[in-house]
Structure 1
Amino acid sequence: MEIKKTPFQFLFANTIRALFRQSAKEFEKQDVKITPEQHFLLRILTSKEESIQSDLAEIMQKDKSAIMRHIDQLEKLNYVVRVNDSIDRRKKHIVITELGTETLNKCEQILNHLSEKNTENISEEEMDTFKKVLIKLKENAER
């Protein structure tokens, strides 16, 4: 298939899937017990003071049951804990543990290495242009 005639959504989706597969393989190879999506969830937890399941589902654009499965898995690994809300007992905040933070840091190192490897033959100028185009595509898609 000729690149100019290939819809960018197809190229972009295939690229994202390839990067996720690469990350998952490297996580497994380095004995990291989580998926790239669960890594993203841990990353969100470190950037927010309080996180409840519905907020996480909205941020990750996933349904609440999918997020709950990820949280259950992360809780089994002792990477997160559920903490009761002091005002509303029905709410549970998801909090990253010290072990979760260590795993997140390991994932970040792995992803930084992969990022360096994957951008090896791409100039800084090309990356800046690519990022600007991605931002514009996102903005256009959200209009």
Structure 2
Amino acid sequence: MEITKTSFQFLFANTIRALFKQSAKEFENQNVNITPEQHYLLRILTSQEESIQSDLAEIMQKDKSAIMRHIDQLEKMGYVVRVNDAVDRRKKHIVITELGTEVLKKCEEIINRLSERNMQDISENELEIFKKVLIKLKENAGK
């Protein structure tokens, strides 16, 4: 099957790249020194009580070494810390810091503004249909 500029695969991949590029540019414009992927990682850390590298890799569908690089960078910036597990000393939990929570809040404000702007002229009905289609696509991809 030939992929054209109007094919679903092309449009979907280009849209995802455009959204990531847009948020990366806006983070930079607002002096937020993290990538959209690092933002997503911080978001995950706030939604889970305990996070270890392998769990984060699974959630983000990335390899462990890619996640480790993100964690290393976030740790250098003071946004996360590694904490030893009380039972298994080989395990390190990744915990968001107060500074990380502050930068996450700023990122969320940026993302919310961008989302509002990007969702202009998209009805609630269109959005609901799109969400249902995405769910079906994900389910079908997992078969």
TM-score (norm: length of structure 2): 0.95
Which residue in the other structure is 2:73 paired with? 73
Aligned to 1:120: 120
List runs of 5+ in structure 1 lacking aligned partners: none
Give the 3 Å change call, closer, same or farther, for CA 5–19 of structure 1 in structure 2: closer
Cα offset, 1:10, TM superposition: 1.4
**CA-based RMSD:** 1.2
Q: Match of 1:100?
A: 100
CA distance in 2, matches of 1:105, 1:9: 33
AA at the equivalent of 2:111: L
Instruction: State the distance in 2 between where 1:9 and 1:59 align.
Output: 23
* Whole-angstrom CA distance in 2 between matches of 1:136 and 1:127: 14
Instruction: Return the alpha-carbon distance in structure 2 between the equivalents of residues 123 and 6 of structure 1.
Output: 22
Q: Distance in 2 between matches of 1:83 and 1:61?
A: 23
SS of equivalent to 2:51:
coil
Whole-Å separation in 2 of the counterparts to 1:68 and 1:49 = 19
1: CA distance, partners of 2:6 / 2:114: 26
Q: Distance in 2 between matches of 1:98 and 1:29?
A: 22
Q: What CA deviation, in whole Å up to 9, does each residue of 1:90-125 have, x standing for no partner?
A: 110000001101111111110010001001111111
CA distance in 2, matches of 1:117, 1:38: 22
SS at the partner of 1:120?
coil
Structure 2 counterpart of 1:113, one-letter code: R
Q: Percent of pairs identical after alignment? A: 81
Deviations 1:45-66 (A, max 9, x none): 0011111111111111111110
Aligned twin of 2:25: 25
Query: Matched residue of 2:39: which SS?
Result: helix
Distance 2:115 2:35 in 1: 17
Residue aligned with 1:87, SS: coil
Structure 2 residue runs of 5 or longer lacking an equivalent are none
CA–CA distance in 1 between the matches of 2:138 and 2:89?
37
Identify the residue that residue 136 of structure 2 maps to in structure 1.
Answer: 136
Alignment-mate amino acid for residue 67 of structure 1? I
